[in-house]
Amino acid sequence: MPLVSTGPGRGTRSVIMRLATFNLLHGRSPADGVVCPDRLRDAVTGLDADVLALQEVDHAQPRSGLVDQTALAAEALGARDARFEPAVVGTPAESWRPAGPDDAPGAHPTYGVGLVSRHPVVRWHRIPLGTSPAVLPLLVDARRPALVRDEPRVAIAAELAAPAPVGTVVAAHLSFTPGYNVVQLVRLARAVAHLPGPVVILGDLNLPGPVPGTVLRRWRSLAREATFPTERPRVQFDHVLAGAGAPAVRTAYAVPTKVSDHRALVVELEP
């Protein structure tokens, strides 16, 4: 496998790896409230990521056309490996129950996180992160707040085959409950500490700006870009964190798309 990354039909790029994290908002556009698979496909294709972490992902949900959104993203990127991990069975903000390790995607509508990789994955890990007991007022649309019960949170770790530039990539979506998301971040870092390095955590951590770096002092943030809301972003909730030994960053940027209320966060590593 060449160290310089190449995407299908895109030619050679002067980066060793392009990483991205994207909270999908289940593919819904804040502009018109429509969930359109073609819009989601175009958004993912435009990221041209070698590894893509996805949050707020639907699988077989009526509201998103029964699409397997992780598989759609993998197809759009020409990715070799992909995995969806449900956090809940049912539909958020409607009726749901916590998903367990035996809840196979496809049997019921599910919702969770996804991880897509052009690099071969040799081993997958499901990492439960717990559930905050909080019920908090959140904006469920642009007009009105609603009391929302927090969902279970789960992460996916993928060990990549050599000679991938990093050893393990992790997709995570942490709680919106202040304080509990810090507990989950520490729990996640401990859970992946034994995995092959360098380890990179990607996701919507629901922690602003510099906070993840102050919590995990042995990790470094690879990007400082505002990602929320997608129009005139003011805060960074989406992060890429690296453990010891990660390659240097060539550039990092946030990408607005036609889906989601978050911008996608992209990090390009130096060759």
> What average pLDDT does this structure show over 76-95?
94
Strand partners, 82: 116
Burial of 95 from C-beta contacts in 10 A (0-12 / 13-18 / 19+): exposed
- pLDDT, residue 55, reads 98
- Reported as a single tens digit per residue, the pLDDT across 141-157 is 555 677 778 999 999 99
Look up residue 183 and give its two tokens: 């507990």
Give the separation between CA 182 and CA 54, rounded to whole angstroms.
20
Q: What angle do CA 250, 256, 257 make, to 5 degrees?
A: 120
- pLDDT, residue 202, reads 98
- Reported as a single tens digit per residue, the pLDDT across 91-114 is 988 899 999 888 877 779 999 999
Is residue 10 very low, low, confident or very high in pLDDT (cuts 50, 70, 90)?
Answer: very low
**For residue 218, how far is the Cα from the chain centroid?**
21
Q: What angle do CA 50, 29, 86 make, to 5 degrees?
A: 55
> What average pLDDT does this structure show over 42-60?
98
More confident residue, 129 or 103: 129
Asked if residue 8 has pLDDT above 50, the reply is no
Can you list the domains of the chain with their CATH numbers? 6-269 (3.60.10.10)
On average, the pLDDT of the chain sits at 91
Is residue 211 very low, low, confident or very high in pLDDT (cuts 50, 70, 90)?
Answer: very high
CB count within 10 Å of CB 147 equals 9
Mean pLDDT lowest among 4-8, 88-92, 193-197, 204-208: 4-8
